Structure 1
């Protein structure tokens, strides 16, 4: 049995250097939150894990090392599984039990009170105590006793309503429809080649025109609300800390050790009572890079590490779903590791939720970038996010049509999020899918004029990886909700149905068809110019005219004019949309870069075709976006 000569004062005050006031604060939170003293000290920014480990080593403590590949449940493992949350709070892992012995691993050798709790739960006296780091104990508990929660995190949507789960990419009926449509087009082309070629070309041009026009009208409509404030300064100042509810923040990370330090700093700037923040850092159990980075932090952190047992698919929504079962807030939001939210964002959300009707269950805040001027790519990326979050989403909001949520800074009523089943672990744009599922249940989403700054991708190939996943996810979401178009129409109504077609379907459609129309126009220029004559100078004189005549049969002049008009007007509209996007944030220096939007769209097209290939070959693959690449050292105002 471990000797109790190391008391709390010796470890925390003399060893680490906590003052009396800090100890009293931790003890107050310990009683209020019903968590162990060490857990409070580590997760609420009083003690760093590195300092705690050093203190124990100086006092002669030897650390127990878990063999995670060979962990087994003790005879009363079902009792621990049903009390998993309590054991996580106690930072204790029972490693051996028989009739005469109970051996446990704890993180705090001075915590006699919680050791007694373990004895009460298991109905047996502890005979031996081993010491380990808190994160090692958390990992052992999660990978051993968290499997029921893991199963729910992966399959809850599928078990609840498999018709809205992306586990099946193409249904049998969709494959029959796609195959039948292609077969029909090819068959008709054999008999009516000219009519089919003209008809398909015209159809693609019309759909592209309507998709771009829809986004243009959304932007104009959204611009009417660019200076509106949904929560006034007076309303914000009237909020007292006592009335604020507990707030859960999920922080999914994967191989992001390079931004953990920034994350800790950003969280400290949040204007919200510390004891009412329930911050979960979601770490995959096989992500040794991030896991070790957190263990070796030299300064205190304000978050609770939550270790997710290994399972496929390895996606952000699966990780967030697992975090749901350990969340304690009335509201819940997600931030990425590099996010810098407005420091009053949580209070703004609380205030807005109080004043809007009960059927509003999600509030989406705007996203923008702190490294907007780093290079050409970050400038174009900032323009895109500015018109998307500052104009188009407010336009969707005020038209009351489905809003595809952004990946972060979407704030939920926790009970309604659980009612919706959380996120689809198989969908790689789980946010857009959840926005539509909420709308289909007659719940509403609104947007808030509060900004979270992120790191804009400054590397071309990294940007392609990120964007191909996003577009693949839009394709996934479209296929899932269009399995039964009539059912979708009944759920979301005519306005919601067509909003979904043009905003979700139209987004990836425009990127896929854009290079096709561009090649078509280049072919026209080639055939109409003298270049062809120069290339076939060795042939008879009328060869050029014959090729041009054959081309004119399939592409008559009126269709050429339609295509040129569509291409020119479409690009001008998107350039204009990007230009007006600078006004809300007064980023006027970016305006001329909007002229490069046609080039930026080509990058989207590359991503779209990559996403389409992955949709067929590996639909659940989460292509990792590398963060921490920016050389920007401080946020720029946008």
Structure 2
């Protein structure tokens, strides 16, 4: 067995200076991890530099056969798995029972001794491999039971709260009965039935738009954004700050991994108090290889999520929960740039708020807001959503559907809620509703996380159709028992849910119909339109006028125009809190932007029926904008 001493490997090679080695050693003892694990995961050493050094020393790397991994002939508990992960060790056991070890550090006698003491096993030989290969092998070998919990734990706890079943039998029966009643009425009273349905559609659309406008006004007036002063941050010494987990789910994100490593270094929080989990799918060699070959040191601990359906972000996050250790836990996307003091602000706000507040949602905005038309519209939308509408929900005591990133949880309460629903593709919106139904509350903090706005049309459609499909899933899940929902969330919560979650879905689906009504009205008013229809069939014109009398057309047009004007106004308001005055005129283009939402909504509706759990990947790293200009 090749023997290399730590001084030779890290000091004499020039890989790490003495003072850094001493700092790593101190952290290693405090966290009970191996020296190499601490050096790699806490930005003291880059994986590529370490790999190149071992290659120069003539070390050949053990190659795992991931399709034929074998377990030890003894029970390996979760605590045992944590030990193996923390010390970069993978035990190999032959058919004869002989034990060999795979280690990432040829100078690490301490971890090998600890392995012998813990498992009462002596290794006859030690191989060496890259640390990420060992991590992957451990998760694939011993993570199966945890993976099953990550997928089905919520369903097993409370099947009615999971989107595994898209439509319940009761919902299907109700929909069929309502459809049958409508068909019967349509046959008996065709004109009255069509007019009544049209009126109901217009009424719900009007109330939904009006409700969002009201939320915007409440959010603008009430200043519900929770503030924490700089002086309050001084009340908490670094030594008193809690351990904080950050989960970073990634999939085919090689183009932003280098940016991610840089962004994490800007977080103003003691790095020894950070527990950063980079969640990589086991069938994602692109991201896996990108992390293995990072040139810069990085602050994250890779977790390899074994393959399982559904391939969703919440499933990966649930798996990551079993390896998270923080008092608080936050979710960030790979391209996110949170305010540097965001974690300290959250900690201070949690101390100010009553115990029932278990989630803090920070605002999201975009660093590439002026890149093109689409990024400008996206920025307007997010500005009014996070700066006005969510504070409005908070002010009216209505359940807040969380955004997909930059939400901070009390870890123990997140576990109590069962984590995320692995089958819901807007898992955080659903979790916000479930938290409220359990008597917990969500607060909003005036700290911003900057993301990359979609700058490409088809990429935007993919992302938005998934979001709207997830809203549909969330609505169906929580409306399985309307009486129960009303009892849990009260009058405000129930009707807020109908017009915020349900209304958002409905407005996007109905918008093309109102637009068509408006255009058709204009067409009829033009002489050429009357001549064209008249030449086809005069009876057709008479029938259209019968089922769509002038007063109903006027109501629909008023709804269409008033709805657009209100949303244009809301978008214009959105620029003021962020002082993005150069975007104000783009608010006029909101009717066009809504057409894109409608396309996404119908695509989401189709996928809700055909493939409800399909997670349509959003490509990141497409922008050419300069993040330094935030």
- TM-score tier by shorter-chain length is over 0.9
Task: Determine whether 1:158 maps to 2:151.
Answer: no
1:423 equivalent in structure 2: 420
Distance in structure 2 (CA, Å) of the matches to 1:99 and 1:550 = 86
The residue number in structure 1 matching 2:489 is 492
The change in CA–CA distance for 1:354 and 1:189 in structure 2 (over 3 A counts) is same
Distance in 2 of aligned mates of 1:605 and 1:537: 32
Distance 1:289-1:73 versus aligned 2 partners, 3 A rule: same
Residue of structure 2 in register with 1:65 after alignment: 63
Residue deviations 1:432-455 (CA, integer Å, cap 9, x gap): 000000000000001000000000
1:603 pairs with 2:601: no
Q: Does 1:621 align with 2:614?
A: yes
Matches for 1:492-531 after TM superposition, within 5 Å:
492-531=489-528
Matches within 5 A, 1:121-140: 121-140=118-137
Map Cα deviations across residues 558-580 of structure 1 (whole Å, 9 max, x no partner).
Answer: 21111111111111000000000
CA deviation string 1:539-562 (max 9, x = no partner)? 7xxx65x54332221111221111
Q: Deviations over 1:294-336 (max 9, x none)?
A: 0011111110110011100000000000000000100000000
1-side partners of 2:505 and 2:443: how far apart? 24
SS state of the match for residue 15, structure 1? coil
Provide the C-alpha distance between the structure 2 equivalents of 1:158 and 1:335, rounded to a whole number of angstroms.
Answer: 25
2:36 matched to 1:43? Answer: no
Distance in 2 between the 1:59 and 1:532 partners?
A: 83
Note if contact 1:16-1:51 (Cα within 8 Å) is conserved in structure 2: no
**Preserved CA contact (<8 Å) 1:435 1:445:** yes
Q: Provide closer, same or farther for how the CA distance between residues 244 and 389 of structure 1 changes in structure 2, counting only shifts above 3 A.
A: same
User: Among 148, 171, 190, which residue is 2:168 paired with?
Assistant: 171
Q: In structure 2, what is the equivalent of residue 13 of structure 1?
A: 11
Q: For residues 313 and 514 of structure 2, what CA distance do their matches in structure 1 show?
A: 35
Distance 1:617 1:16, change over 3 A: farther
Query: What SS does structure 2 have at the residue aligned with 1:497?
Result: helix
Tell me how far 1:206 sits from its aligned partner.
Answer: 0.1
From 339, 354, 365, the equivalent of 1:357 is: 354
Q: Matched residues in 1 for 2:234 and 2:97: separation? A: 60
Q: 1:150 and 1:432 mapped to 2: Cα distance?
A: 23
* Alignment equivalent of 1:588, drawn from 545, 562, 581: 581
Count of residues paired in the alignment: 630
Q: Which of the residues 102, 105, 116 maps onto 1:105?
A: 102
What displacement does 1:424 show?
A: 0.2
- Distance in 2 (CA, whole Å) between partners of 1:154 and 1:411 is 22
Which residue does the alignment assign to 1:340? 337
Q: Which residue of 2 aligns with 1:309?
A: 306
Residue 14 of structure 1 deviates from its aligned partner by 2.3
* Cα contact 2:533–2:541 (8 A) shared by 1: no
SS at 2:625 equivalent = coil
Pairs within 5 Å for 1:2-401: 2-4=1-3, 6-76=4-74, 78-79=75-76, 82-97=79-94, 101-226=98-223, 230-401=227-398
Whether contact under 8 Å (1:80, 1:87) holds in the other structure is no
Q: What is the CA-CA distance between 1:538 and the residue it aligns to?
A: 5.7
- Residue 487 of structure 1 and its aligned partner are, at CA, apart by 0.9
Matched, 1:559 2:552: yes
Q: How far does the alpha carbon of each residue in 1:166-192 deviate from its partner, in whole angstroms, 9 at most, with x for none?
A: 000000111111111112111211110
Once the two structures are superposed, residues 469-528 of structure 1 have per-residue CA deviations (whole angstroms, 9 ceiling, x without a partner) of 000000000000101111111111111111111111110110000001111222222223
- For 2:404 and 2:264, the matched residues in 1 are separated by 18
Q: Is contact 1:511–1:605 with CA below 8 Å preserved after alignment?
A: yes
Q: Following the alignment from structure 2 to structure 1, what is the Cα–Cα distance between the partners of residues 535 and 488?
A: 64
- Asked if the contact 1:48–1:300 (Cα under 8 Å) also holds between the matched residues in 2, the reply is yes
Which of the numbers 477, 481, 505 marks the counterpart of 1:480?
477
In 1, distance between residues paired with 2:211 and 2:553?
Answer: 23
Q: TM-score, normalised to structure 2's length?
A: 0.98
Q: State the Cα deviation string for residues 186-238 of structure 1 (Å, max 9, x = none).
A: 12111100000100000000000000000000000000245965211211233
8 Å contact 1:157–1:421 — kept in the other structure? yes
Which of 627, 631, 635 is equivalent to 2:624? 631
Deviates most, 528-537 or 24-33: 528-537
Distance across 1 between alignment mates of 2:392 and 2:469: 24
Offset of residue 100 of structure 1: 6.6
Deviation at 1:582, TM superposition (A): 0.3
Whether contact under 8 Å (1:251, 1:334) holds in the other structure is yes
Are the equivalent residues in 1 in contact too, given 2:76–2:142 (CA < 8 A)?
A: no
Distance 2:132 2:22 in 1: 24
Distance 1:359 1:536, change over 3 A: closer
3-state SS of paired residue (1:95): strand
SS of the residue corresponding to residue 313 of structure 1 reads coil
Corresponding residue number in structure 1 for 2:569: 576
1:536 to partner: Cα distance: 5.7
Gaps of 5+ in 1: none
Offset at residue 537 of structure 1 (A): 7.5
SS in structure 2 at match of 1:175: helix
Q: Secondary structure at the match of 1:461?
A: helix
Query: 3-state DSSP class of the match of 1:464?
Result: helix
Change over 3 Å in CA distance of 1:537–1:204 after alignment to 2: closer
1:406 aligns with 2:389: no
Kept after mapping to 2: 8 A contact 1:227/1:584: no
Deviation of 1:79 (Å): 2.8
CA distance 1:528–1:11, shift in 2 (3 Å): same
